[in-house]
A and B are shown apart, each in its own frame.
Chain A
Amino acid sequence: MENNLKENKTDKDLKQKLVEEFKSMESKLNGEASGNFHKIRKDAIAVFDKLGFPVKKMEEWKYTNLNPLLNHDFHYSSDRKQSELKKSDIEKYKFESGEKNFLVFVNGVFIEDLSSVISNSENIYVGNITGGRKKYPEIFEKHFSKYADYSDRSLVALNTAFSADGAFVYVKKNTDLKEAVHILHISDAEKENVMLQPRNLFVIEEGGRAEIAEDYYSKGDNFSFTNMVTEVYCGKNSHTGHYKIQNEGDKDYHVGMTQVHQEQDSNYSNTTVSWGGSIIRNDLNAVFDGRNTESHFFGLYLLDGKQHVDNHTLADHKMPDCFSNELYKGILSGHSTGVFNGKIMVREDAQKTNAYQSNGNILLSDDATIYSKPQLEIFADDVKCSHGATSGQLNEDEMFYIKSRGIGDKNAKALLLKAFVSDVIDSIKTDEFREHVENKLEHKLEYILR
């Protein structure tokens, strides 16, 4: 009872603090406070104020408890000073093969000095939201907060209210971005507990092509709480490869919403890799708002210790002839917990839908847990849907065969685990991203199998 009261009180405290922080931010806005953008933010903070943080008794949050996070006091200031990170501090986050379009955000703030962009032209904008909003106000108005609905999602509301900054990638009609974009988000908890609310917007217009990776890291010994939202607009017949790599540490919490809007004939592929972080909750929702769209959701979670990763996905088939395919794979060791909740929604008009889903898990320890739940809601009659979930241990016959050739227990496991996740890794089309993930996988496996 006492415990309960305390938790509720803390929740209210953090919530209250954030609402107050919003007011103080508002008072410093000067002219901007009257604009349309600010109207959205005011509306969003009201929604957050009303809904509060999600709690476990909500079906969607059944397995993920945010209470441990609400017990910390996070510093959140909207006018935080620029980070003290230097170029040499971020070398280690760079991809092995070098950087071309590289955007660096520290605690949600864009650090131009550390970023480098080569692709900008009259047809391409790669930068931060603040810059992009000035340069392309009409594009921003048209897309910002149009997809990530916050009316019943308090964390999206919270992010929208603060939506301080984040990456803005804009690819005009029939343009190929050619060089991939690497977005680095660092939570810098060197001095204090920090909360950050990155907000990314990717607009790929008709016939456009882009490959974009969001890469999350943390730094310092204090706690961090990332509440991110990414909105992706895929215009007609556009091709988008979108990657999210989570490398944070065991004092870092990450909740995120990726909301994708697909127009007719568009192709969107997402690969989400989670191997760092304490409590992670990812929502990936794609709405197919035109005929003949194609979507691929791939995911990999590789967990140990007490890590908790919850992946919720939604393939929302609104129109006919759309194809969605989903493959999530997990390796769980220690006392870790994985949650996979894959929802396929086939609405009345979505005839000739093809929707596939599969979730496979390997449990390396008796204390690891996986909750895997497919959710099919089908309101059309002419559809092909399938789903499957597996969880088990490494195959003993395969292990013995490998060992009988002189390969020790650790390397035998590593071989099989790498093989197990190879189809997810191979879904990363940009070579420099894939090689980076392969290297990290090697290290992470080495660590887990130590």
Chain B
Amino acid sequence: MLIIKNLKAKIKTSEGDKQILKGINLTVNAGEIHAIMGPNGSGKSTLASVLTGREGYDVTEGEVLYDGKDLLDLDPEERAREGIFLAFQYPIEIPGVSNVNFLKTAINEIRKSKGEEPMSSVEFLKVMKEKAKLVDIDPAMLSRYVNVGFSGGEKKRNEIFQLAMLEPKLSILDETDSGLDIDALKIVANGVNQLKSDKNAFIVITHYQRLLNYIVPDFVHVMYEGRIVKSGGKELALELEENGYEFINGIKENAEA
């Protein structure tokens, strides 16, 4: 589904360009869950931004193939229509735009791009109620403005709710667990587990092992200073949790040796 080859990217800042991604290699197949772990600042969110087409980054080397097509050639909205979804680390508030209107516009634009008829209001409301239940969101919240006045946890749940509504093929969850208490974490994980199938895939970015008790990954990758320095099965997350930064330093020394 997704093949990332030697991806290098810079961020454009007012003080000049800064190389963040220094050669990422990653392959994600349908039906898989990949966890990407690593300390703050290692480039996890940057990878998510580059994959979803956020402005302000320069890809300097490498390529990303999504279903065999060059992903980096597409606009953000085209990527979304092709089935890529990002649950934001910091969801954006949009005053004046209701959740309902927002999602209805999104769903119908995605449908239109596929030559499908728009979803009827009745059907939309029905689907919305179902999916709201999945992540335990009060339907009353959905008539409110997108993320405005939502608590940190509500914002994260709203991301997963949007994911459930849009039914993407490849979902990237960027630290959806941070700021969630254990109950909310279970709700979010339960939502993801119900949505997962052999046709879709998830990239779960986190720096705590905790979430991975509930969303069990097939692969765990450790990212450090813009590179994936180690990959393994779910037991790698436990190792990392136990040994912390020293463990990473060890990896780093090995990588550099």
Contact = CB atoms under 8 A, between A and B. Distances in A.
B141 to A, nearest CB: 17
Contacts of B199: none
A406 B96 contact: no
21 contacts: A397-B92, A398-B94, A400-B54, A400-B92, A402-B94, A402-B102, A403-B53, A403-B75, A404-B80, A404-B86, A405-B106, A405-B162, A406-B113, A406-B166, A409-B75, A415-B94, A415-B101, A415-B105, A418-B96, A419-B95, A419-B97
Interface string B32-65: 0000000000000000000011110000000000
Interface string A311-355: 000000000000000000000000000000000000000000000
B177 to A, nearest CB: 20
Contacts of A415: 94, 97, 101-102, 105
Contacts of A402: 94, 97, 102
Nearest to A400: B54
B88 interface: yes
Given A398-B94, A419-B94, A404 B101 contact: no
Contacts of A403: 53, 75-77, 80
A405 B94 contact: no
Interface residues of A, number: 21
Nearest to B163: A405
B102 A398 contact: no
A416 interface: yes
Q: Which 8 A-B pairs have the closest CB atoms?
A: A419-B96, A406-B80, A401-B92, A405-B106, A403-B76, A406-B110, A403-B77, A419-B97
A420 interface: yes
A416 B93 CA distance: 11
A35 to B, nearest CB: 53
Main secondary structure of the interface of B (DSSP, over half): helix
A420 B109 contact: no
A235 to B, nearest CB: 36
Given A400-B54, A415-B101, A419-B97, A407 B92 contact: no
Nearest to B113: A406
B14 to A, nearest CB: 14
Given A403-B76, A415-B105, A416-B96, 18 more contacts: A401-B91, A401-B94, A404-B54, A405-B80, A405-B102, A405-B162, A406-B81, A406-B106, A406-B109, A406-B113, A411-B105, A412-B77, A415-B94, A415-B97, A415-B102, A416-B94, A419-B97, A420-B96
